[in-house]
Structure 1
Amino acid sequence: MKSAIEQRQIQLAQMEIEKYRSIVEADPYRLSYHLMPPVGLMNDPNGFIHWNGAYHVFYQWMPFKTGHGAKFWGHYTSCDLVHWKLEPVALAPSEWFDKNGCYSGSAVDNHGLLTLFYTGNVKDEDGNRHTYQCMAVSENGIDFVKKGVVVTLPDGYTAHFRDPKVWKKDDDWYMIVGAQSESLDGKAVLFRSKNLTQWEYLGAIAGGKQKQLGEFGYMWECPDLFELDGQDVLIVCPQGLQAKGMHYQNVYQAGYFVGRLNYETAEFVHGSFTELDRGFEFYAPQTTLDAKGRRLLIAWMGVPDQDEEKHPTIQQRWIHALTLPRELRLIDGKLHQVPVEELQKLRKNEIAYTNVTVANEEISLEGISGNVIELKFDIHQLEGMIEMQIRNNARLIYHHDERVLTLERKSFVNGLTEKRQCRLEHLLSLHIFLDTSSIEVFVNGGEEVFTARLFPYPSNHSIVIAANGKCIFDITKWNL
């Protein structure tokens, strides 16, 4: 049973939803088919799991303001990854071990119990941080009871020790935690358990100041380790990387290593770090394995500490959203991301053109426009440069000779043009999901992905295609 304090916290959060519901829902930038907070601030997805026939996505939530603070766990469920139901609050800050926030974590099925692991955040009277890895359980997947602390801070680490991801391999449970060592470099730290309540510290499996990494961030957040096509993949969010050419352009990064984890020695032999998304807003990804055997990923469509106070939606009492769910595939050592096939259920009013030629001109095709749409753009021939202008706010540009793909947008902070780029040997296809205030671009079947928030004039639905040279392509549009 929830404590009286937690029940009161949840009641206050629900009152906040009701108080500002009409203001939030009136925002023209409110997204159409993405997960968003009912009010306040949303950040990391938590506890992403397919359990008892339903998908569950929990999320970091501050209901009382559009800034950060003592976080709750909000909760959505879905039977198809498309249509989502807002559930009652799962966790609220209330106990001695989480009174200043129920921070990020994961979920597992333990003999039919939906079991959550999260970081309890505590600040003492002097402002010092303390963190605990905690557990909560539910029989029905909706009502959760906290079971308290299962892992305390091991020696050698600062209190920046959080975001437990738990999974089972053979007869043992494993937990990986994002950490900062006392020497102020980021680590991914592994534990093992037989019963989910008593955990053995195995050590750091990867982190900065290792031979293969050198200096690589002062804190690693939101780790996730899983097996895919016979390889072990470690997703992590290192903080403190310096921009390097087209790489690491956001204030914090999200990416992965591919390798092999020795579960006995806690040694992870891996390759280089690769960013998961080339866009402006992508962080804290989390994966799950569903009943179809797919490794699915969902992420925060935001970045911490990056002009959050300038978002246009703040005046409407909400901020941030989650990405679309994506299926992961490992191809030649590289993660490819593709939108889950269930999203095709949203399609309506298809308009298609084949073998369109654009040569040293710009064109608009009748019916190829909108603000809540899906676009598939397949290239047959390209000489020179091709660009797609989207709602007079963003541009996708590919220079065939330079082998560079660029996403430009008008900054919502100052209105100036800003860009993110990647090198791309050939542009074969773009698969674009456009929502009222977001864009997700899957390039060449998910070889690269760009995710960003856009805030164009709501009435502008234009899409213009231009070529400096010659391009022959097919294009299909659906309203969603």
Structure 2
Amino acid sequence: MKSILDKAREYEAVNGRKIPSEKRPAFHISPYVGWMNDPNGFSWYKGQYHLFYQYNPYKTQWDSMHWGHVVSKDLLHWEYLPAALAPDEEYDKIGCFSGSAAELPDGQQLLIYTSVDHETLEDGTVRDIQTQSVAVGDGTDYKKYEKNPVLTGQDVPEGGSKVDFRDPKIWKGKDGLFYCVVGNRPSDGSGQILLYSSEDGFQWKFVSILAENKNRYGKMWECPDFFKLDGKYVLLTSPQDMLAEGMEYYSGNGTLCIIGEMDPDTHTLKEENHQSVDYGIDFYAMQTVEAPDGRRIMIGWMQNWDTLSHRCEESKWFAQMSLPRELSVKNGRLYQKPVRELDAIRKNKTEYRNVVVKDKPVMLKGVQGRTIDMELAISPEDKETGYGKFIVCFAQNEKFHTELSFCPEDSVLKLDRKLSGSRRAVVHEKSCLVNRKTDELKLRMILDRYSVEVFVNDGEQVMSMVIFTEQEADGISFQANGKVKMDITKYDLV
């Protein structure tokens, strides 16, 4: 009799190969077949990057979470491996939820994940119970630990929920111990991040409540990540049910970065600054890895729980990951840049300098495409008169386009996909407040077949968004209210 994992592997092997490569993103990770959400187990192991992901191979909706698996040497060309985990034990029969990975001293890879089961209360109500479990393997095949789960509700501090207790992120400390942070909901109904330690990765003990939400930024804090970068400690998490705060945080499920110092005595994060991680529509559940050369690289689920109806219904895959991004901390802010490996696939350079853009749309020879890397530097042609608005239209034909616009008067940058071909009335635009120190605005736009990522002023802010416009729509045009001077460098990504 075939196991649940064997069935999943057999199904994906048959059906994944039926999806033509040209029907997928060119260099963003998509599921081999079926549904994808949170990145899991982003790690460097045996000479390559491993990324696992929340996965339902059988249909393009969330259900019965498995772990999908891909590997890469350059973060751009990914090879599909067989599904790594399936919900096949009593303690995880509802699903193998999000988690992470680390290498054990014996050279094996340890996966730690949230195992979900049901319990029935005295009144007959059925609810989830979330625990943390581990599996050990060789980079392809993994065996679950016979003493799972390794963290349960008994390991949660007083008042903490065992229903909302998930998404462990593991790392090896300089002291030789393993550590992990886990998202949890305390008695006030918001969120908190718990810190645990282990000598071997299997037996864990509670250390501290690393950070507390106290109903400031949304409710439950999901998918935490914690690391030291450029002399500061950084906590990344994805809060549910956020309330809008100007243009820094929008309502819904969002992203949060807290930067500060670590108190070595209490093992708590002393907060200094906070910000969104991504200001676009589609970005959630980010996870990082420390590369062999010391870079901190982040990837996120380039999708939004509130926009799941924005899809191509006939597609046999749904959702994708963001482009991996190099992180740094400067002046109390998180900066993000596309991984430098992207430079190796830049081809066919097209460059213009001092192009004046005004009231009529301008299209430039060689500036078009749906898999491109485009750098823009814009400033007023006349600093005395300035300009009212600058617009870039892309993924454009006579019927469709997506728009990126900037208004210097209020310093607002906006992405708008309402004319991109969607048949659903979902969220179609997002704006962010740009911190400009000069008249010049620098933009770097990475387009893949089904997405755009905009890096603002050398990565001080990022806006991510998926689009499903037909691939034949590959035009790009520029327009302004007033006169804008523009420098542009464009590469095809091959």
Q: Could you tell me the TM-score, scaled by structure 1's length? A: 0.92
- Give the letter aligned to residue 67 of structure 2: W
- For the pair 1:371 / 2:370, whether they are aligned, the reply is yes
Q: Which runs of 5+ in 2 are unaligned?
A: none
Shift of 1:391: 2.0
State which drifts further: 110-119 or 371-380. 371-380
Shift of 1:54: 0.6
Q: Which of 26, 38, 53 is the aligned partner of 1:59?
A: 53
Does the C-alpha gap of structure 1 residues 428 and 216 become closer, same or farther in structure 2, counting only changes over 3 Å? closer
User: Does the residue aligned with 1:391 lie in a helix, a strand or coil?
Assistant: strand
Q: Which residue of 1 aligns with 2:174?
A: 170
State which drifts further: 371-380 or 225-234. 371-380
Does the C-alpha gap of structure 1 residues 417 and 53 become closer, same or farther in structure 2, counting only changes over 3 Å? closer
- Give the letter aligned to residue 475 of structure 2: S
Superimposed CA distance per residue, residues 270-327 of structure 1 (whole angstroms, 9 cap, x where no aligned partner):
02431011101000000011111100000000122x131x233332222100001000
Give the 5 Å matches for 1:217-236: 217-236=218-237
In structure 2, C-alpha distance between the alignment counterparts of 1:184 and 1:378, rounded to whole Å: 45
In structure 1, C-alpha distance between the alignment counterparts of 2:135 and 2:207, rounded to whole Å: 23
- For the pair 1:123 / 2:121, whether they are aligned, the reply is no
Q: Which residue of 1 aligns with 2:445?
A: 432
Q: Which residue of 1 aligns with 2:12?
A: 17
State which drifts further: 248-257 or 396-405. 248-257
Q: Residue 119 of structure 2 contacts residue 128 of structure 2 at CA under 8 Å; is this kept in 1?
A: yes
- For the pair 1:106 / 2:100, whether they are aligned, the reply is yes
Does the C-alpha gap of structure 1 residues 230 and 68 become closer, same or farther in structure 2, counting only changes over 3 Å? same
- Give the letter aligned to residue 425 of structure 1: N
Q: Residue 33 of structure 1 contacts residue 82 of structure 1 at CA under 8 Å; is this kept in 2?
A: yes
State which drifts further: 76-85 or 469-478. 469-478
Q: Which residue of 2 aligns with 1:31?
A: 25
In structure 2, C-alpha distance between the alignment counterparts of 1:380 and 1:363, rounded to whole Å: 16
Q: Which residue of 2 aligns with 1:156?
A: 159
Q: Which residue of 1 aligns with 2:185?
A: 180
Q: Residue 408 of structure 1 contacts residue 417 of structure 1 at CA under 8 Å; is this kept in 2?
A: no
User: Does the residue aligned with 1:151 lie in a helix, a strand or coil?
Assistant: coil
In structure 2, C-alpha distance between the alignment counterparts of 1:249 and 1:8, rounded to whole Å: 43
Does the C-alpha gap of structure 1 residues 79 and 23 become closer, same or farther in structure 2, counting only changes over 3 Å? closer
Superimposed CA distance per residue, residues 302-353 of structure 1 (whole angstroms, 9 cap, x where no aligned partner):
122x131x23333222210000100001110101100011012222222221
User: Does the residue aligned with 2:91 lie in a helix, a strand or coil?
Assistant: coil
Q: Which residue of 2 aligns with 1:246?
A: 247
Q: Residue 70 of structure 1 contacts residue 100 of structure 1 at CA under 8 Å; is this kept in 2?
A: yes
**Identity of counterpart residues, as a percentage?**
36
CA RMSD of aligned residues (A): 2.0
- Give the letter aligned to residue 149 of structure 2: V
In structure 2, C-alpha distance between the alignment counterparts of 1:191 and 1:373, rounded to whole Å: 43
In structure 2, C-alpha distance between the alignment counterparts of 1:331 and 1:152, rounded to whole Å: 38
Q: Could you tell me the TM-score, scaled by structure 2's length? A: 0.90
Q: Which residue of 1 aligns with 2:136?
A: 137
User: Does the residue aligned with 2:288 lie in a helix, a strand or coil?
Assistant: strand
User: Does the residue aligned with 1:223 lie in a helix, a strand or coil?
Assistant: strand
Superimposed CA distance per residue, residues 57-107 of structure 1 (whole angstroms, 9 cap, x where no aligned partner):
111101112221221111111111121110111111111121111111111
Superimposed CA distance per residue, residues 382-422 of structure 1 (whole angstroms, 9 cap, x where no aligned partner):
53121101124211111112211111111735368832111
Q: Residue 291 of structure 2 contacts residue 297 of structure 2 at CA under 8 Å; is this kept in 1?
A: yes
State which drifts further: 120-129 or 293-302. 120-129
User: Does the residue aligned with 1:150 lie in a helix, a strand or coil?
Assistant: coil
Does the C-alpha gap of structure 1 residues 425 and 257 become closer, same or farther in structure 2, counting only changes over 3 Å? closer
User: Does the residue aligned with 1:11 lie in a helix, a strand or coil?
Assistant: helix
Shift of 1:10: 2.4
In structure 2, C-alpha distance between the alignment counterparts of 1:273 and 1:14, rounded to whole Å: 42
Give the 5 Å matches for 1:379-418: 379=378, 381=380, 383-384=386-387, 385-392=389-396, 393-410=401-418, 412-414=422-424, 418=428
Q: Which residue of 2 aligns with 1:315?
A: 314
Superimposed CA distance per residue, residues 244-268 of structure 1 (whole angstroms, 9 cap, x where no aligned partner):
2223325201121001122441221
- Give the letter aligned to residue 196 of structure 2: F
In structure 1, C-alpha distance between the alignment counterparts of 2:108 and 2:427, rounded to whole Å: 49
Does the C-alpha gap of structure 1 residues 84 and 417 become closer, same or farther in structure 2, counting only changes over 3 Å? closer
Q: Residue 60 of structure 1 contacts residue 104 of structure 1 at CA under 8 Å; is this kept in 2?
A: yes
Shift of 1:361: 3.0
Shift of 1:18: 4.6
Shift of 1:203: 2.9
Q: Which residue of 2 aligns with 1:446?
A: 459
Q: Residue 248 of structure 2 contacts residue 275 of structure 2 at CA under 8 Å; is this kept in 1?
A: no
User: Does the residue aligned with 2:248 lie in a helix, a strand or coil?
Assistant: coil
Q: Which runs of 5+ in 1 are unaligned?
A: none
Count of residues in Structure 1 that have an aligned counterpart in Structure 2? 467
Q: Which residue of 2 aligns with 1:257?
A: 258
